[in-house]
């Protein structure tokens, strides 16, 4: 937001062809922003994400307000001798789950899990992908070969078996595995997600670097004696921001689904950590959802809206950042 002039509010599609009086210098950021704000769907997505972040942050306050913690156990309802979750009521807005816990509070807390995965796991994936992709593209040769083959190998690992195996191996001690680095639960799930998604970013970055490194400004930097590190991260990286941002945003929703799937399969996220995937899995146990529809509906809707929002924002970002896209 360094530049001064905001885009003129009247600058609509109708104006673009018309040459106006004062020539306003429009920075790439201005161009991007003016395009992005005109994408209503992307804006709506961004607003939704913003709300979700706020909700996740104030989750403890929400719990305090309704008076139910996410792991507090409340009585079940009895139907002819069978104990079942209680339905939505003025006390339990989204009903209760199989332990009598408040589905509303757990859904709100579930946003935390999903957002942690969205930002932390994807963030790690991005960092690994950018660093390795840049190195591979910049140096080429055997370094490129090694990194590219590693990418191929990671992408061909049987992901679910790997995840289940890791969770099992890390479950036999209290400290987890790798000297306590990996604990079954959110950290393991985040780790697995980062491990399996960095290659997507890595490949794209490598491709971009391959074409950029032949450009004049890079050769100029070489001629001026800049170090490899400086060229990679001082010269090349700023030019990679657009693809990185776009692809990272597009990977986020798939990672949220990924976390939900792993939690659904029971890979590691414990009962005490509310997670939408886990809540959905609880609802399917013994077809419980055919009775307790609220256990499936609410986390399901939140999961849907969240992934939809990230997808819309990602699409909007791509449209706004792509220089080849039409200047609407």
Partner 1 sequence: MIGLKRKTAGLLGMGLALALVAAACGGTSPGPSASSPTASGQPTRGGVLRTAISSFGFTGGFDPTDEYLGLAWDFYGAMLRNLVSYKHIGGAAGNALYPDLATSMPEISPDGLTYTFHLKSGIKFGPPVNREITSQDIAYAFERINDKNAGAEYGFYYDGVIKGMTGQVNGIKPVSGIETPDATTIIFHLTQPTGDFLYRLAMPATAPIPVEVAKCFPTGGGYGRFVISSGPYMIQGSQDLSLSQSCSQMVKNPISGFDPTKQLILVRNPNYAQSTDNLRSNYVNAIDIQVDANVSDIFNKVAAGTLDSSLADPPPTTTLTQYLTNPSKKPYLHSDSGDRTWYITMNLLTPPFDDVHVREAVNFIIDKAALQQAWGGPVFGQIATHIMPPIMLNNALTSSYDPYKTPGETGSLALAQAQMKLSKYDPKHDGKCDIASACTNIVMINRNYAPWSTMEPIVVQDLAKIGIQVVPRELETGAAYQTIDTTKNNIPIALNAGWGKDYADPFTFAQPLFGSAALIPVGNTNYSMVGVTSAIIKKQGLGVTIPKGLSVPSVDSLINQCEGQAGATRQQCWVNFDEYVMTKVVPWVPYLWATNLTITAPSLTKWVFDQFSGYISLTQVAVNNNISVSSLG
Judged by beta carbon, residue 37 or residue 265, the one nearer partner 1 is 265
**Of the residues 44, 159, 164, 308, which one makes contact with partner 1 according to CB under 8 A:** 164
Q: Counting contacts by CB under 8 A, is residue 83 touching partner 1?
A: yes
Residue selected from 48, 53, 84, 212 as contacting partner 1 according to rule CB under 8 A: 84
SS (H, E, C) 240-307: HHHHHHHHHHHHHHHHHHHHHHHHHCCCCCCCCCCCHHHHHHHHHHHHHHHCCHHHHHHHHHHHHHHH
Q: Taking CB under 8 A as the criterion, which residues in 274-313 touch partner 1?
A: 281-282, 285-288, 290-292
Buried b (16+ CB within 10 A) or exposed e, 282-296: bbeeeebbeebebbb
Residue with Cβ nearer partner 1 (232 or 262): 262
Which member of 65, 228, 271, 301 binds partner 1 (CB under 8 A)? Answer: 271
Q: Residue 285 CB, nearest distance to partner 1 (Å)?
A: 4
Tokens 């807005």, residue? 93
Among positions 220-259, residues that touch partner 1 (CB under 8 A) are none
Count the residues of the shown chain that bind partner 1, applying the rule CB under 8 A: 38
Helices (H), the chain: 13-16, 28-38, 40-57, 59-66, 103-116, 122-139, 141-156, 159-169, 186-212, 216-223, 228-230, 237-264, 276-284, 293-321
Least distance to partner 1, CB of residue 88, Å:
18
Q: Which residues bind partner 1 (CB under 8 A)?
A: 71, 73, 76, 78-84, 98-99, 101, 164, 167-168, 171-175, 184, 265-268, 270-272, 281-282, 285-288, 290-292
């Amino acid at each position: 937001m360094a530049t001064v002039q905001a885009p003129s509010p009247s600058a609509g599609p109708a104006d673009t062809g018309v040459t106006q009086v004062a020539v306003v210098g429009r920075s790439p950021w201005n161009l991007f922003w003016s395009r992005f704000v005109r994408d209503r769907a992307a804006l709506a997505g961004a607003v939704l994400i913003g709300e979700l972040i706020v909700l996740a942050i104030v989750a403890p306050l929400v719990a305090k307000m309704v008076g139910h913690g996410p792991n507090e156990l409340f009585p079940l309802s009895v139907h002819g001798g069978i104990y079942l979750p209680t339905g939505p009521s003025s006390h339990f807005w989204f009903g209760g789950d199989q332990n009598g816990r408040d589905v509303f509070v757990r859904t709100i807390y579930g946003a935390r899990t999903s957002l942690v995965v969205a930002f932390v796991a994807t963030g790690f994936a991005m960092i690994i992908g950018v660093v390795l992709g840049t190195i591979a593209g910049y140096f080429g040769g055997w370094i490129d070969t090694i990194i590219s083959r590693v990418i191929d190998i990671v992408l061909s690992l049987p992901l679910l078996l790997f995840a289940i195996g890791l969770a099992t191996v890390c479950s036999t001690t209290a400290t987890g595995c790798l000297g306590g680095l990996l604990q079954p639960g959110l950290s393991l799930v985040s780790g697995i997600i980062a491990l399996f998604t960095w290659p997507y970013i890595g490949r794209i970055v490598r491709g971009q670097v391959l074409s950029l490194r032949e450009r004049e400004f890079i050769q100029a930097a070489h001629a001026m004696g800049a170090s490899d590190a400086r060229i990679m991260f001082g010269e090349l990286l700023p030019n990679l921001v657009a693809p990185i941002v776009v692809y990272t945003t597009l990977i986020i929703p798939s990672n949220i689904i990924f976390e939900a799937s792993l939690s659904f399969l029971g890979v590691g996220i414990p009962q005490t950590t509310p997670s939408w995937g886990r809540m959905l899995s609880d609802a399917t146990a013994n077809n419980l959802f055919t009775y307790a529809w609220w256990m499936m509906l609410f986390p399901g809707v939140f999961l849907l809206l969240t992934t939809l929002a990230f997808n819309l924002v990602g699409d909007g970002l791509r449209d706004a950042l792509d220089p080849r896209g039409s200047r609407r």
